[in-house]
């Protein structure tokens, strides 16, 4: 009998689902970045925590890295397995485990899709508020790994605010039960928050207790057309002051062109340079009247050139599609993506500096940006000019990303807002964190993952 690492894993866990077909290796070995050639050793699909622990112990003995896999919708290479690692997919650990109606806690496995989690909450008359366009394919484990935010961070915050407890299998196979759903727990370090946003480099999240809240009040959506970038913050200030906004998103005319070409409907007769979508409370006529008043004031000041307020849930969904459909419309073009953040107050100056960089450095490539103005998060998509080969295009983008990273450092921002560092951005980590901070991060990893098997090469190189 062969004594290869995989044969030993099969002997150790004879009931474990293992896949080694070339198609599976390619499918599970990459995420949405599509920049690395997948080369995993195999795909393991455990069904319970005990199997996960045994896989980790095998990996320690065999000196094989483990790449955790959920929906693989990441954009930073965090779920890429290109160096003979074992991909550990949570595809079969995708269940709702139970609801505590008193504490409003939903216990779930990491492979559960975000949309399925939201539906489970809705069935109980409750609400899970973290939301984004990839809700049908991304998993809660991946959301935890990157502390994902999405479109309603203004009101509800990031994933971190909604995780009451975690079970983590460390790099030695030990199972930790972190915080256990407590609201108050001042008993030392809260290791749960180290895990959230760690991109699977500290261990494998095998269960989560998710907080739920009341269903939101009735809302409306307002789409506004703006003549200039400088008007974005003026309109945001007006909406934040006079409306109960839960989302405030923007996109450019270039983003509009792609998403309309992909099937979205633009209600305006003319094309405008910038657009804003604001979602606001609209439980009575007084609140709806305030929205009209905000539009009229912005229009009178010259900050807005046109606008529409949804009159039905179907129209609201159609307006949201103009924003949420952008990434899907760009996906076939394989854009190079930047996901960045600055303080909200720094947005005007940073956006001006960013625009100057793009105008100078991207004379051929098409730059499409959109984002969450209300939380300082901007998404930049660079579309390759057809006359430029892919290697040269990546070279252009990495050179510009370095400039962008330097600019972010000057404005006190982050090179990754919610997509993680992964493989794509780790060279820029030192411009977001000091040497002392990075050294502490490495030290934490050495404690929880002493053999360096957890998502190796992501965030930073081997420690």
In this predicted model, what pLDDT tens digit does every residue of 26-41 receive, in sequence order? 999 988 777 788 999 9
Q: Which residue has the higher pLDDT, 349 or 423?
A: 349
Q: Is residue 309 within 8 Å of residue 221, measured between CB atoms?
A: yes
Q: What is the mean pLDDT of residues 331-339?
A: 89
What pLDDT was estimated at residue 299?
97
Those residues whose C-beta lies under 8 Å from the C-beta of residue 399, and which sit 6 or more positions away, are 361
So what's the pLDDT on residue 175? 98
Domains and CATH numbers, the chain: 5-91 (3.30.43.10), 96-214 (3.30.465.10), 219-327 (3.30.70.2190), 334-417 (3.30.70.2740)
Q: For position 98, what pLDDT does the model report? A: 96
Give the separation between CA 333 and CA 355, rounded to whole angstroms.
22
Confidence of residue 77 (pLDDT cuts 50, 70, 90): confident
How much is the average pLDDT of 355-376? 92
pLDDT, position 362: 95
pLDDT tier for residue 2 given thresholds of 50, 70 and 90 = low
Task: Compute the mean pLDDT over every residue in the chain, rounded to the nearest whole number.
Answer: 93
Tell me what the mean pLDDT of segment 240-244 comes to: 90
Gap between the Cα atoms of 32 and 39, Å rounded: 16
233, burial (CB in 10 Å: exposed 0-12, middle 13-18, buried 19+) = middle
Over 70: is that where the pLDDT of 463 sits?
no
- Counting Cβ atoms within 10 Å, is residue 169 exposed (0-12), middle (13-18) or buried (19+)? buried
Classified as helix, coil or strand, 354 is: helix
Confidence of residue 430 (pLDDT cuts 50, 70, 90): confident
Mean pLDDT of 158-185: 96
pLDDT above 90 coverage of the chain, percent: 79
Mean pLDDT for the stretch of residues 153-182 = 96
For the chain, the straight-line distance linking the first and the last C-alpha, in angstroms and rounded, comes to 35
Q: Which residue has the higher pLDDT, 75 or 329?
A: 329
Q: Is the confidence at residue 420, as pLDDT, over 90?
A: no
pLDDT one-digit tens code per residue, 174-227: 999 999 999 999 999 999 999 999 999 999 999 999 999 999 888 999 999 999
In this prediction, residues 71-79 reach a mean pLDDT of 78
What is the mean predicted confidence (pLDDT) over 127-155? 89
Kindly tell me the burial class for residue 364, based on how many C-beta atoms sit within 10 Å of its own C-beta (0-12, 13-18, 19 or more).
exposed
Nearest to 88 by CA among 61, 67, 71: 67
pLDDT at 421 over 90: no
Over residues 252-304, the pLDDT tens digits come to 999 999 999 999 999 999 999 999 999 998 888 898 899 999 999 999 999 99
Average pLDDT score over residue span 78-97: 94
Residue 443 has pLDDT above 60, yes or no: yes
Whether the per-residue pLDDT at 1 is higher than 70: the answer is: no
């Amino acid at each position: 009998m062969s004594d290869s690492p995989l044969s030993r894993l099969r002997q150790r866990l004879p009931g474990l689902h293992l896949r080694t077909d070339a198609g599976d290796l390619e499918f599970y070995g990459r995420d949405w970045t599509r920049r690395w050639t997948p080369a995993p050793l195999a795909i393991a699909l455990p069904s319970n925590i005990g199997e996960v622990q045994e896989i980790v112990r095998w990996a320690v003995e065999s000196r094989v890295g483990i790449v955790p896999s959920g929906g693989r919708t990441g954009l930073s290479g965090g779920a890429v397995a290109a160096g003979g690692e074992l991909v550990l997919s949570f595809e079969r650990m995708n269940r709702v485990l139970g609801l505590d109606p008193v504490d409003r806690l939903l216990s779930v496995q990491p492979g559960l899709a975000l949309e399925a989690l939201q539906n489970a909450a809705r069935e109980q008359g409750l609400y899970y508020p973290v939301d984004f366009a990839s809700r049908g394919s991304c998993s809660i484990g991946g959301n935890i790994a990157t502390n994902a935010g999405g479109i309603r961070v203004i009101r509800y915050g990031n994933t971190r605010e909604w995780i009451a407890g975690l079970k983590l299998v460390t790099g030695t196979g030990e199972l930790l039960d972190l915080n256990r759903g407590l609201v108050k727990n001042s008993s030392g370090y809260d290791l749960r928050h180290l895990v959230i946003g760690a991109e699977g480099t500290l261990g494998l999240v095998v269960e989560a207790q998710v907080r739920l809240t009341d269903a939101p009040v009735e809302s409306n959506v307002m789409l506004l057309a703006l003549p200039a970038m400088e008007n974005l913050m003026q309109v945001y200030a007006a909406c934040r002051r006079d409306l109960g906004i839960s989302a405030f998103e923007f996109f450019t005319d270039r983003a509009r062109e792609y998403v309309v070409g992909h099937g979205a409907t633009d209600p305006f007769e003319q094309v405008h340079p910038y657009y804003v979508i604001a979602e606001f409370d609209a439980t009575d006529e007084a609140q709806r009247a305030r929205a009209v008043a905000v539009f009229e004031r912005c229009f009178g000041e010259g900050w807005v050139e046109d606008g529409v307020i949804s009159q039905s849930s179907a129209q609201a969904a159609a307006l949201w599609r103009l924003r949420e459909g952008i990434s899907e419309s760009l996906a076939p073009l394989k854009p190079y993506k930047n996901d960045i953040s600055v303080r909200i107050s720094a947005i005007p100056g940073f956006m001006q500096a960013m625009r100057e960089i793009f105008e100078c450095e991207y004379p051929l490539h098409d730059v499409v940006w959109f984002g969450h103005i209300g939380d300082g998060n901007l998404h930049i998509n660079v579309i390759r000019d057809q006359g430029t080969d892919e290697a040269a295009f990546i070279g252009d983008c990495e050179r510009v990303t370095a400039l962008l990273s330097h600019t972010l450092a000057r404005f006190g921002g982050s090179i990754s807002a919610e997509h993680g560092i992964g493989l794509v951005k780790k060279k820029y980590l030192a411009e977001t964190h000091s040497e002392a901070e990075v050294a502490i991060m490495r030290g934490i990893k050495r404690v929880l993952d002493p053999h360096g098997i957890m998502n190796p090469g992501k965030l930073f190189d081997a420690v």
